[in-house]
A and B are shown apart, each in its own frame.
Chain A
Amino acid sequence: MRDIFRGFGAVFYKEALHIRRDAGTLFFSLTMPLMQMFLLGFGIDTNIRHIPTVVYNADGRRESRELIDQLKNSDTFYVMRYVQSDHEMNDIIVAGKARVGIKVPVDYSDKLLHGMSAQVLVLIDGSDSSVAGQAINVSNAIGLQESLKRVLQDRNVMAVEMRPKMLFNPDSRSPNFFLPGLTAIMLLNVTTFLTAFSIVREKERGTLEQLFVTPVKPYGLMLGKLLPYLCVGFFELCLILTCMRFIFRVPIHGSVLLLAGLALPYLFAALSLGILISSKAASQAEAMQLAFLPILPSVFFSGYIFPRETMPALFQPISYLIPATYFINITRGVILRGATIRHLWTDGLALLAIGTFLLVVAARRFQNKVISA
């Protein structure tokens, strides 16, 4: 057993020296994710508010003005302009200055007063689906509310009343949703790059060739390379969690220790991916390009931004191959839902399996493509 990891201690010693000596790179790779975190954490609000709206009120009487006040008060619509023709309204939407156009027809008040059904036209720019969805929902809700008010008059009892209760993130704070996922992406980023580079640099220098003529075993070499960067990744995780908790005030409902423990198999998978990349890349430039490959799928297929459940059935299996999928479930689980090992052990196992698989493939590639070439 000791034999297949031969050389591990020596490589670990050397790699730790490299990291210490190249403090600039280390500092850069530790602080870059934090800067991204500040940018995204402060800059992005996933709740849709203040949709720019253009209003054409052809009626202009009290009932129509009440309706428009309702829309304004919803906080979803921000009336940026009032216009006097269909044509003008259209132009503003096409130009992208407003996302929503609301036209109250001339006979709106008349119809309401005569107890007839009054129509209001709501034009929605469908080029951003989440904005469009929110606009539809809120305008429907306001329409319904106005109708009920007129039907029920003063009686304030509803037959059915839905009482939604938001679990885990009651204020719908964006950082609470965003940062746990971002943690996974940032860790992947840093660790994959660092390991891939550390090996490709040895290829370029010719030192890798030298190592192969010594009794070092591929697994000893790889684990020796992997472990120092695992420590770096772990330190990075601690930095991120600290900022998240104390600067962005994201409450951590579960056990931090559990989160840290489950981060290990994730880091292991990310580092193994880095090693696999380095077995293919001949130069640092090539490694850079290859290391970018897994990032986009990790952002889009992992559930970080778009829910996995809405992906076409064909693509769902892809998300199961992506380590970030599991780790995002783990971070959101522990941080937001207070999940315990009982809820998350399968994710941890999946990460361990992916990491082992990647490492075995990488070791084989090294044996066949790098050593005997």
Chain B
Amino acid sequence: MAPGSPSPPTEVAIAAEHLVRTFGQFTAVNDISFEVKRGEIFGFLGPNGSGKTTVIKMLTGLLPLTGGAAQVEGLDVRTHAEEVRERIGYMSQKFSLYDDLTVNENLTFYGRIYSLPADRLKRRMNEIIELNGLGPYLDRLAGKLSGGWKQRLALGCAMLHEPKLLFLDEPTAGIDPVARRQLWDLLFELSGHGITFFVTTHYMDEAERCSHVAYIYYGKLIADGTPNSLRELPEVKPEGTIRVEITTPEVTRALRLTRQMPGIRGATIFGQSIHALIDDHTDLHELQNKLLKEGIAVAEIRPLAASLEDVFVELTYRHQAKLEESRA
């Protein structure tokens, strides 16, 4: 298919069904299914070595599937790997730019890789330069840019050919917080124009910004949904419980006491406060009084929604418990 011809109309950008990939005896990806809708920012999380990169390689047609099926932009990656690569953009975590080439030359190179005709390349370069604010740096060597600008340039290179789907592998690793914020603003803007993002990250606050997150743990997908739906999962928030935040200057002692009290299902320290899962009929005033009696000043106790970190921690525990059960 010629580049630039319209994609088949589909509301689903990525459909992965029972993906399996083994390397010899080792199962890197174990029966994973998920669906990413057009225009979503899909956050793909998991510890290092859990199979994130393997999944990206499978979806971009670099790595043959051992089992299952995947459709990207409506195309089967097993039979149409090359067409898939025409339609997607990819930015690796190292911002793979050529340090000894200028910003302009890097962009031109990627434009030619995708065989953009001269007039379209020129138009796209102007658009990208304007969007990413690269104008003042066109003749600077990529190696002389700061981390944030390198990342913008890498993103620009990855979207020069107007892909409708972009894979970003840890796009914010090692860049300053301002650049990180600016990148996310840019992603939101682009996703508003119907571009889908597949983003891997280690930052929980970034996961919270995604419209759809999935968590992979050693080859298994153990969470998949919108951040809000994950917070409401019965495993995370069992029937008849609420989550509260107890703010106190003496967190360590308060934690020990809280854990001994009736109606407390679990408690952990978060900075200057304790996050606790408690029975929903527990009297919060009584809890505060009990702590006061022990000489602990409690500034505030208030209900709290589970964070994504809480969700992943809880689901990981449960997954490990299940694994041990099945082994026993």
- A interface residues with partner B (beta carbon < 8 Å): 6-7, 9-11, 13-14, 17-18, 21-22, 205-207, 209-216, 371-372
Contact B98 A14 (CB under 8 A): yes
- Report chain B residues within 8 Å CB of A213: 60, 62, 85, 88, 90, 167
Q: Closest chain A residue to B53 by CB distance? A: A209
Contact B112 A10 (CB under 8 A): yes
Please pick, from A6, A7, A14, the residue contacting B101 in the complex, using a CB distance under 8 A.
A14
Contact A214 B85 (CB under 8 A): yes
- Report chain B residues within 8 Å CB of A207: 96-98
- B interface residues with partner A (beta carbon < 8 Å): 57, 60, 62-64, 82, 85-86, 88, 90-94, 96-101, 105, 108-110, 112-115, 167
- Report chain A residues within 8 Å CB of B108: 13
Interface contacts beyond A14-B98, A213-B60: sample of 16 additional A-B pairs, CB < 8 Å, sorted by A: A9-B112, A14-B101, A17-B100, A18-B98, A205-B94, A205-B99, A209-B92, A210-B90, A212-B62, A213-B88, A214-B110, A214-B113, A215-B86, A215-B114, A372-B57, A372-B64
Contact B62 A10 (CB under 8 A): no
A213-B90, A372-B63 known; A21-B112 Cβ under 8 A = no
Please pick, from A18, A215, A371, A372, the residue contacting B113 in the complex, using a CB distance under 8 A.
A215
Contact A13 B101 (CB under 8 A): no
Contact A210 B112 (CB under 8 A): no
User: Cα distance A372–B81 when bound, in Å?
Assistant: 13
Q: At the interface, is chain A mostly helix, strand, loop or mixed?
A: helix
Contact A13 B109 (CB under 8 A): yes
Q: Closest chain B residue to A212 by CB distance? A: B62
**How far does the Cβ of A75 sit from chain B's closest Cβ, in whole Å?**
56
- Report chain A residues within 8 Å CB of B90: 210, 213-214
A211-B113, A215-B113, A372-B62 known; A18-B100 Cβ under 8 A = yes
- Report chain B residues within 8 Å CB of A372: 57, 62-64
User: Cα distance A216–B111 when bound, in Å?
Assistant: 12
Contact B101 A21 (CB under 8 A): yes
User: Cα distance A214–B93 when bound, in Å?
Assistant: 16
- Report chain A residues within 8 Å CB of B63: 372
Contact sample, A vs B, 18 pairs, CB 8 Å cutoff: A7-B113, A10-B113, A13-B108, A14-B105, A17-B100, A17-B101, A18-B100, A18-B101, A206-B92, A207-B96, A210-B96, A213-B60, A213-B88, A215-B86, A215-B113, A216-B113, A372-B57, A372-B63
User: Cα distance A371–B85 when bound, in Å?
Assistant: 14
Most B-side CB within 10 Å, residue of A205, A210, A212: A210
Contact B112 A206 (CB under 8 A): no
- Report chain A residues within 8 Å CB of B94: 205-206
User: Cα distance A326–B163 when bound, in Å?
Assistant: 49
Q: Closest chain B residue to A9 by CB distance? A: B112
User: Cα distance A11–B88 when bound, in Å?
Assistant: 20
Q: Closest chain B residue to A217 by CB distance? A: B82
Please pick, from A17, A215, A216, the residue contacting B105 in the complex, using a CB distance under 8 A.
A17
Contact B85 A215 (CB under 8 A): yes
User: Cα distance A3–B304 when bound, in Å?
Assistant: 57
User: Cα distance A10–B105 when bound, in Å?
Assistant: 11
A213-B60, A214-B85 known; A13-B96 Cβ under 8 A = no
Most B-side CB within 10 Å, residue of A13, A205, A212, A214: A214
Please pick, from B82, B96, B109, B115, the residue contacting A209 in the complex, using a CB distance under 8 A.
B96
- Report chain A residues within 8 Å CB of B99: 205
Contact A14 B109 (CB under 8 A): yes
A13-B112, A211-B113, A214-B113 known; A22-B100 Cβ under 8 A = yes
**How far does the Cβ of A362 sit from chain B's closest Cβ, in whole Å?**
18
A210-B92, A212-B62 known; A10-B85 Cβ under 8 A = no
